[in-house]
């Protein structure tokens, strides 16, 4: 039964993990020395049988055998159900069944009663030798759990000390051989030596597992950093590939329009609007690029203060109503007057991107922008559209950088950064964002305008540098 050191879980405290590993160490060493708990029993019976205490030997042997059987049952239960469990379960198992070790110590602590002043001197020597070996083995076997080691050693030594004291006082009336007094003193010295050795061994093991824990944490940290670096390289590679592909089309279009104008100057009225649209597309792509770069570098500047919702929505209506009307869409706004605490530029960027997306992916019907007030006085902005909708399997992924829904028309002229930027900015400002959508029926984005905190927002900007959100709204 080899002890194993599983990978650390984020929630595992250092102390809990070390305690769990020490229990594993205890069970491993105790299982390895199980033979020493069984073999001496027939030896003791054979050596001391026939010295006039046959009933005592039999009773002792039965007691020792029962303890060994219980110990083997505990080993079996541990290996089948507990060995690979978490640290808390390991410690709980030991606290529940730890009584078996002092019980074993009691068995061997009573063994001197079988031979002291009863057997021949060579046989007594054998008995004390077995006793001493078991005491020394206990240091290595139980040192992983210092309390268990102390209890085992104390029971193992103090029981024969008390037995000898009883024999000296009651049986011999303090007139027995002087060597028994020396035996008592030697046993007490032996007790202290074993306790000191157990304590030093335990501290060595604990320091070993402390170092192992910290090494595992360091390995995990380095692994995460390495993976983050690889992810960053992958993101940059995807970005370059996407940028190269997405910029090629409008730039190529501009080159074609310029070539047509050079050959056919009379086509200026027809081509000029197309040049303007291609230029807007290039500018939009570069705007997304710059927003992405600022977010990733943690250089987003904040200016949090009171924001008048009426003014904000009026500016957005002036900007986006002509785009909706140019596509033949119904553009409506249901507004409520109010003031929220946020960054006006970033908030306008968030809502503007959501409105732009709604117009972009709506072919017929319309777009509704509404401001609603909750019972607690908080405001939320909702953008409804009757567009293509978003399938359930894409509703979380659309907030990732460079993600484009393959079946959506209109994605070919972007980096797939719009909603990623929206989610990051909303996270920085502390404005939760959510969506509900039905494929072919339309989509609703909801932005809850909770009060933005300047310090928290600045902290989120710092945390955002070089990192991606683990979860999206």
Residue 287 confidence (pLDDT): 62
Residue 411 confidence (pLDDT): 43
Residue 204 confidence (pLDDT): 93
CA atoms of 328 and 362, how far apart (whole Å): 10
Residue 318 confidence (pLDDT): 82
Query: Per CATH, which fold does 305-464 belong to?
Result: Heat Shock Protein 90 (3.30.565)
Residue 427 neighbours by CB distance under 10 Å: 22
Give the pLDDT band of residue 173 (cuts 50, 70, 90): low
Give the pLDDT band of residue 253 (cuts 50, 70, 90): low
Residue 207 confidence (pLDDT): 93
Residue 467 confidence (pLDDT): 44
Predicted confidence (pLDDT) at residue 332 exceeds the cutoff of 90: yes
Residue 201 confidence (pLDDT): 93
Q: Is 326 exposed, middle or buried (0-12, 13-18, 19+ CB in 10 A)?
A: exposed
Mean pLDDT lowest for which of 141-145, 163-167, 375-379, 450-454?
A: 450-454
311 versus 114: which is more confidently predicted?
311
Mean of pLDDT values over 236-251? 59
Residue 470 confidence (pLDDT): 42
Predicted confidence (pLDDT) at residue 112 exceeds the cutoff of 90: no
Mean of pLDDT values over 224-235? 78
24 versus 467: which is more confidently predicted?
24
Q: What percent of the chain has pLDDT over 70?
A: 74
Q: Which residue has 């969506």 as its token pair? A: 435
Mean pLDDT lowest for which of 65-79, 197-211, 438-452?
A: 438-452
321 versus 289: which is more confidently predicted?
321
Highest mean pLDDT among 54-63, 373-382, 413-422: 54-63
Q: Looking at the whole model, is its pTM more than 0.95? A: no
User: Considering only CA atoms, which of 55, 31, 36 is closest in space to residue 45?
Assistant: 55
Predicted confidence (pLDDT) at residue 429 exceeds the cutoff of 90: no
Mean pLDDT lowest for which of 151-160, 174-183, 307-316, 319-328?
A: 174-183
Query: Do the Cβ atoms of 87 and 19 come closer than 8 Å?
Result: yes
Mean pLDDT of the chain: 79
CA atoms of 248 and 415, how far apart (whole Å): 12
Give the pLDDT band of residue 471 (cuts 50, 70, 90): very low
Query: Do the Cβ atoms of 260 and 267 come closer than 8 Å?
Result: yes
CA atoms of 210 and 231, how far apart (whole Å): 31
The pair of three-digit structure tokens given for residue 113, joined into one six-digit string: 């009663």
3-state helix, strand, coil in the chain (%, to 5): 70, 10, 25
Highest mean pLDDT among 169-173, 271-275, 347-351, 392-396: 347-351
Q: Where are the domains of the chain?
A: 14-225, 305-464
116 versus 384: which is more confidently predicted?
384
CA atoms of 241 and 236, how far apart (whole Å): 8
Give the pLDDT band of residue 2 (cuts 50, 70, 90): very low
């Amino acid at each position: 039964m080899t002890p194993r050191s599983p990978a650390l879980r984020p929630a595992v405290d250092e102390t809990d993990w070390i305690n769990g590993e020490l229990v594993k160490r205890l069970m491993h060493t105790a299982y390895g020395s199980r033979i020493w708990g069984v073999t001496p029993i027939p030896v003791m019976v054979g050596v001391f049988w026939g010295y006039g205490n046959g009933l005592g030997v039999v009773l002792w042997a039965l007691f020792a055998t029962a303890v060994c059987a219980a110990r083997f049952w505990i080993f079996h239960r541990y290996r089948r159900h507990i060995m690979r469990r978490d640290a808390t379960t390991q410690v709980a198992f030991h606290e529940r069944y730890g009584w078996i070790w002092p019980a074993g110590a009691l068995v061997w602590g009573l063994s001197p009663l079988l031979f002291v002043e009863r057997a021949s001197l060579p046989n007594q020597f054998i008995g004390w030798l077995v006793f001493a070996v078991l005491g020394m083995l206990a240091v290595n076997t139980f040192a992983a759990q210092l309390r268990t080691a102390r209890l085992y050693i104390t029971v193992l030594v103090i029981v024969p000390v008390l037995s000898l004291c009883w024999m000296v006082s009651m049986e011999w009336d303090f007139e027995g051989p002087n060597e028994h007094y020396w035996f008592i003193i030697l046993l007490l010295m032996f007790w202290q030596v074993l306790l000191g050795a157990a304590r030093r061994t335990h501290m060595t093991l604990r320091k070993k597992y402390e170092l192992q824990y910290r090494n595992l944490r360091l390995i995990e940290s380095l692994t995460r950093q390495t993976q983050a670096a690889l992810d960053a390289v992958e993101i940059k590679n995807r970005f370059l590939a996407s940028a190269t592909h997405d910029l090629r089309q409008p730039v190529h279009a501009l080159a074609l329009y310029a070539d047509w104008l050079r050959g056919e100057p009379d086509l200026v009225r027809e081509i000029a609007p197309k040049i303007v649209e291609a230029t807007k597309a290039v500018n939009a792509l570069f705007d997304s690029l710059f927003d992405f770069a600022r977010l990733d570098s943690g250089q987003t500047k904040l200016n949090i203060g009171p924001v008048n919702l009426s003014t904000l929505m009026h500016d957005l209506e002036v900007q986006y109503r002509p785009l909706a009307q140019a596509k033949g869409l119904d553009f409506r706004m249901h507004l409520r007057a109010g003031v929220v605490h946020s960054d006006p530029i970033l908030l306008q960027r968030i809502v503007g991107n959501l409105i732009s997306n709604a117009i972009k992916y709506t072919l017929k019907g319309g777009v509704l922008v509404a401001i609603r007030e909750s019972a607690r006085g908080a405001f939320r902005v909702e953008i409804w559209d009757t567009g293509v909708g978003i399938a359930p399997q894409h509703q979380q992924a659309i907030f990732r950088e460079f993600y484009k829904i393959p079946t959506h028309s209109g994605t070919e002229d972007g980096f797939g950064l719009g909603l990623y930027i929206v989610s990051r900015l909303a996270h920085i400002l502390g404005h939760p964002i959510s969506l509900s959508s039905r494929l072919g029926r339309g989509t609703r984005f909801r932005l809850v305008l909770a009060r933005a905190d300047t310090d928290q927002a600045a902290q989120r900007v710092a945390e955002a540098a070089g990192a991606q959100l683990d979860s999206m709204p």
